């Protein structure tokens, strides 16, 4: 990403495309995409400058199409807003830019900190039910021609060029953990090649920061990593962020109870996908290792990988 002032300048010059000249602009996130909160005549919006090179224009347009369709069936997600020229996605100054409705809920928590919720189990049941509704909608939705999203499939997770990098080559991996990862990777590939598992569109990043709690229910944001993938990978992404909670098993049970109000999955394979999600973070951190706090995060990812491998081995042995 460019420096902050350049991002602000690009965003400011884009506002007239939506008739928002003179709006207040505040940068609220700058990691994968630059996200601005736009305030204009008492209404708030989210303006996104997409990270150059991460998604193709077709993939970005497809993300917007899915979000629009989810909103139409009552799942609370940001809704794309067209420009005055009736475009949902524009390209300006090297960036693809879109505008979304602003959601007013509060994030349910922060990754790496203790979870504080008024009703933990009801909340996790609601998350499970909402994710199941999202998966159900994806299976019945008639996707537009040219729809394109990334694949959290065998190759995207375990192939020679995984979506988030060759995790087994992380130079900071302790050798014993590297050996365990390589062995588990081979086992996991065999299972994915031999089992028929629920697969389709998934959010792929429903971590605590991307689940908002509002008076009228849960809101889901940040579909930047959404794509075609295993539904249990979606589940594992959400549940794996609670591994340090004392009641992690009860939170998982509440989630599953909520999910099964709508549909079911092959829950016996959840440890496999919890491990695969842990591996993705071991790869994800590599190009970000010089960012502040990354070595602490990396150690957390290594610990999660160790625990996930242990649970996967128990699953494989039938214990």
Residue 73's CATH number: 3.30.200.20
The pLDDT of residue 318 is 74
Hunting for tokens 């996967």 — which residue is that?
312
User: Is the pLDDT at 1 greater than 80, yes or no?
Assistant: no
Q: How many domains does the chain have?
A: 2
- The answer to whether 119 and 107 have CB atoms below 8 angstroms apart is no
Same domain, residue pair 86 and 121: no
Same domain, residue pair 217 and 275: yes
Residue 297's CATH number: 3.90.1200.10
In terms of residue numbers, what domain contains 56? 4-102
Average pLDDT over residues 165-187: 97
The pLDDT of residue 73 is 96
Q: Which of 61, 85, 102 is the last residue of a domain?
A: 102
Tokens of 281: 């973070």
Q: Which of 102, 119, 144 is the last residue of a domain?
A: 102
Among 22-36, 63-77, 197-211, where is mean pLDDT lowest?
Answer: 22-36
pLDDT tens, 201-233?
Answer: 999 999 999 999 999 999 999 999 999 999 999
The pLDDT of residue 319 is 59
The pLDDT of residue 30 is 86
If DSSP codes are grouped into helix, strand and coil, which group holds residue 40?
strand
pLDDT tens, 234-270?
Answer: 999 999 999 999 999 999 999 999 999 999 999 999 9
Name the β-bridge partners of 36. Answer: 27, 47
User: Is the pLDDT at 2 greater than 70, yes or no?
Assistant: no
pLDDT tens, 308-318?
Answer: 999 999 998 87
User: Is the pLDDT at 283 greater than 70, yes or no?
Assistant: yes
Give the separation between CA 262 and CA 92, rounded to whole angstroms.
42
Same domain, residue pair 96 and 115: no
pTM exceeding the 0.75 threshold for the entire prediction: yes
Same domain, residue pair 90 and 125: no
- Of 25, 129, 113, 118, give the one whose Cα is nearest residue 74: 129
Same domain, residue pair 155 and 244: yes
Write 81-87 long-range contacts (CB < 8 A, 24+).
81/18, 81/45, 83/17, 83/18, 84/17, 84/18, 84/19, 85/17, 87/17
Q: Which of 79, 102, 125 is the last residue of a domain?
A: 102
């Amino acid at each position: 990403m460019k420096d902050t002032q350049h991002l602000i300048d690009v965003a400011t010059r884009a506002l007239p495309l939506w008739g928002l000249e003179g709006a207040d602009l505040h940068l609220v996130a700058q990691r994968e995409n630059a996200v601005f909160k736009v305030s204009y005549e008492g209404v708030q919006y989210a303006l996104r400058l997409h990270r150059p090179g991460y998604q193709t224009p077709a993939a970005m347009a497809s993300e917007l199409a899915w979000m629009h369709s989810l909103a139409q069936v009552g799942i609370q997600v940001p809704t794309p807003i067209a420009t005055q020229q009736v475009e949902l996605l524009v390209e300006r100054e090297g960036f693809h830019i879109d505008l979304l409705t602003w959601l007013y809920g509060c994030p349910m928590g922060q990754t790496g900190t203790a979870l504080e919720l008024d009703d933990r189990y009801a909340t996790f049941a609601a998350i499970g039910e909402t994710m199941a509704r999202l998966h159900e909608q994806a299976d019945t939705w008639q996707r537009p021609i040219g729809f394109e999203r990334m694949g959290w499939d065998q190759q995207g997770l375990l192939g020679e060029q995984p979506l988030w990098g060759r995790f087994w080559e992380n130079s900071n991996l302790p050798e014993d953990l590297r050996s365990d990862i390589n062995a588990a990777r081979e086992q996991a590939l065999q299972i994915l090649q031999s089992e028929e598992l629920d697969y389709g569109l998934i959010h792929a990043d429903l971590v605590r920061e991307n689940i908002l709690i509002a008076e009228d229910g849960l809101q889901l944001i940040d579909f930047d990593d959404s794509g075609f993938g295993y539904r249990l990978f979606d589940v594992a992404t959400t549940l794996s962020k609670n591994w340090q909670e004392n009641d992690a098993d009860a939170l998982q049970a509440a989630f599953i109870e909520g999910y099964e109000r709508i549909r079911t999955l092959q829950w016996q394979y959840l440890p496999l996908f919890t491990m695969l999600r842990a591996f993705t973070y071991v790869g994800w951190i590599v190009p970000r290792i010089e960012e502040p706090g990354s070595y602490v995060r990396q150690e957390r990812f290594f610990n999660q990988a160790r625990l996930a491998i242990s649970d996967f081995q128990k699953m494989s042995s039938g214990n």
